[in-house]
Amino acid sequence: MPETIKNYIAGKWIDADQGKTFKSLNPADHREVVGIVPDSTAEDVNKAVAAARKAFPAWRDTPAPKRGEILFRAAEILVKRKAELGELVCREMGKVLAESLGDVQEAIDMAYYMGGEGRRLNGETVPSELPNKDARSLRVPIGVFALITPWNFPTAIPSWKIAPALVAGNTIVFKPAEETPVCATRLVEILVETGLPPGVLNLVHGFGAQAGEPLVRHQEIDGVSFTGSNEVGEKLAALCGSSHKDFMMETGGKNPIIIMDDANLELAVEGALWGAFGTTGQRCTAASRLIVQNGIYDRFLQAFTQRATQLKLGNGLNKGIDVGPIISKAQHEKVLSYLKIGQEEGATLHLGGHSYVEGDCVHGTFIEPTIFTDVNPKMRIAQEEIFGPVVSIIRARDLKEAIDIANGIPFGLSSAIYSNDVNTTATAERDLDTGLVYINASTIGAEIQLPFGGTKKTGLGPREAGGRGGALDLYTKWKIIYRDYSGRLQKAQIDE
């Protein structure tokens, strides 16, 4: 039975103003409706923003350790309900069950980590150049934040944004992806259960143009955090720039793995398989280019192809499945179009290249794990994000050429190198122009206690997740306090 879900505004679960709904489907079997979802418009957005604005002063003034305790409580509930939530992620987004549970685990990690920030939101105290004067900085919240998220990490990415925004003292209007609204609703329900005051966290479902854009354009929104496609991100960046809103975006990737002649072949094959076909290639950090040195090329291609051939496609809830469905019919069409483009550009379709319609998969949107060889680094399949189980293999003569190819794209999220030579890996570590670099590991595997994000067209603004230079830099601004207790006019830079 599909579940009918609602918006959450000012502490109440309500339908969309115009009463319209849409359906979220199981991508492994489109006959299954997972949720019936409010199709919201600017009216709903207006109510949610008004609720968040009203709740802001009291939430800002709630001691940060208390705000953090709410996140600890949310983490505890997430732990208890992990199995149920993981199954839901699998049904609504399609990634295989082990990965779906990982999606929920990331939200647990983030809630605990950011809960701790409630007692660590520290600034600096520095000496003043004048006597009887203090100089210090403190973090203060920005105000009302719009959080807009994609479907590929339906629990994790919302938690990356909601947890730091809350602990920092902001109030929120959250617009999750239209493909995974039930997962988003579960997360909000859990936060509500912790005792979050009404209006602090508001949830508005709906589509980008009808709900997302009015939210970003709203005059009472102070900051926007967006994860999704470049096309949308760049439009929102322009909107926020012209209306002076704080903004962060994390968008696409075209991540390379370099495999050098001296690599551990088995390890490199495992990492390449996980990077290219894990999550059906629908990760911003997916490895969609394998840059392989000439001396190991034939052995690597043979072993990699053999392993890719053995991958099992199907509904991720079933045991033994390695690769789940593509999220939607539109995305399925997009991936298929790139399979055509690759062949028209002159690349060799080495493996796969078709929709997969065996058995139960006929009711879902599946594509065979696909390998292109004879790929020129400038081809579109080697430059543009495909977001599916499609990988291009590119030859390289040496490290310098491999790094030039790796860097020769508009994106800069993640990269990896397999080599057993310390000088080689250290050089790559220095020269790869990406936000994340992995040594002898795949392009996937970020942990939440360090910042996450990319260079070039991948990212703009502060990074997500934890650590210095992470999400708190987005969700707070610095306030500088000078306190003069000399009882006389003192002039910085002028007094002798």
What backbone torsions phi and psi does residue 318 show, to the nearest 5 degrees? -85, 145
Binding mask 207-246 for ligand NAD (x = CB under 6 A): xxx--xx--x----------xxx--x--xx----------
Structure tokens at 199: 């209006």
- Residue 460 Cβ, how far from ligand NAD at the closest point, in Å? 11
Of the pair 198, 467, the CB lying nearest ligand NAD is at 467
Give the CA-trace dihedral at 389, 248, 11, 169, to 10 degrees: 130
Of the pair 178, 322, the CB lying nearest ligand NAD is at 178
- Residue 414 Cβ, how far from ligand NAD at the closest point, in Å? 9
Which amino acid is located at 441 in the chain?
A
Beta strands per DSSP E along 237-347: 246-250, 255-259, 287-293
| 370: nearest Cα among 386, 395, 344, 392 | 392
**CA 306 – CA 304 distance, rounded (Å):** 5
**CA 38 – CA 26 distance, rounded (Å):** 18
* DSSP-assigned beta bridge partners for residue 9: 12
Residues of this chain, 409-438, that bind ligand NAD according to CB under 6 A = 413
Q: Collapsing DSSP states into helix, strand and coil, what is residue 274? A: helix
Choosing from 89, 204, 263, 284, the residue that interacts with ligand NAD (CB under 6 A) is: 284
Structure tokens at 14: 């309500």
Q: Does 462 bind ligand NAD (CB under 6 A)?
A: no
**CA 279 – CA 264 distance, rounded (Å):** 24
Structure tokens at 420: 């057993």
- Residue 228 Cβ, how far from ligand NAD at the closest point, in Å? 3
Q: Decide: 78 and 104 in contact? Cβ < 8 Å.
A: yes
Using CB positions, name the residue nearest to ligand NAD.
Answer: 208
Of the pair 38, 118, the CB lying nearest ligand NAD is at 38
Please count the helices (runs of H) and the strands (runs of E) in the chain: 15, 25
| 176: nearest Cα among 150, 144, 146 | 150
**CA 165 – CA 103 distance, rounded (Å):** 19
Choosing from 356, 387, 418, 475, the residue that interacts with ligand NAD (CB under 6 A) is: 387
Size of the site for ligand NAD (CB under 6 A): 32
Residues of this chain, 366-385, that bind ligand NAD according to CB under 6 A = 385
- Residue 320 Cβ, how far from ligand NAD at the closest point, in Å? 27
- Whether 240 is catalytic is no
- Residue 8 Cβ, how far from ligand NAD at the closest point, in Å? 16
Task: Give the largest Cα separation in the chain, rounded.
Answer: 85
**Beta-strand relationship, 414-418 and 436-439:** parallel
- Residue 105 Cβ, how far from ligand NAD at the closest point, in Å? 17
Q: Which residues contact 492 (CB under 8 A, 6 or more apart)?
A: 129, 130
Q: Does 22 bind ligand NAD (CB under 6 A)?
A: no
Structure tokens at 34: 């997972």
Options 92, 117, 213, 250, the catalytic residue: 250
Residues of this chain, 82-101, that bind ligand NAD according to CB under 6 A = none
* DSSP-assigned beta bridge partners for residue 7: 14
Q: Does 174 bind ligand NAD (CB under 6 A)?
A: no
Q: Does 461 bind ligand NAD (CB under 6 A)?
A: no
Q: Which residues contact 16 (CB under 8 A, 6 or more apart)?
A: 7, 38, 39, 40, 41, 44, 205, 206
Choosing from 39, 178, 246, 322, the residue that interacts with ligand NAD (CB under 6 A) is: 178
Of the pair 261, 385, the CB lying nearest ligand NAD is at 385
- Whether 284 is catalytic is yes
Options 179, 284, 368, 464, the catalytic residue: 284
Q: Decide: 410 and 454 in contact? Cβ < 8 Å.
A: no
- Residue 77 Cβ, how far from ligand NAD at the closest point, in Å? 24
Of the pair 204, 399, the CB lying nearest ligand NAD is at 204
Query: Segment contacting ligand NAD (CB under 6 A): 152-160, 254-262, 288-296, 342-350?
Result: 152-160
Q: Does 389 bind ligand NAD (CB under 6 A)?
A: no
Of the pair 352, 451, the CB lying nearest ligand NAD is at 451
- Residue 485 Cβ, how far from ligand NAD at the closest point, in Å? 46
Where in the sequence numbering do the catalytic residues fall? 250, 284
**Residues found near ligand NAD in the complex (CB under 6 A):** 148-153, 157, 175, 177-178, 207-209, 212-213, 216, 227-229, 232, 235-236, 250-253, 284, 385, 387, 413, 454, 458
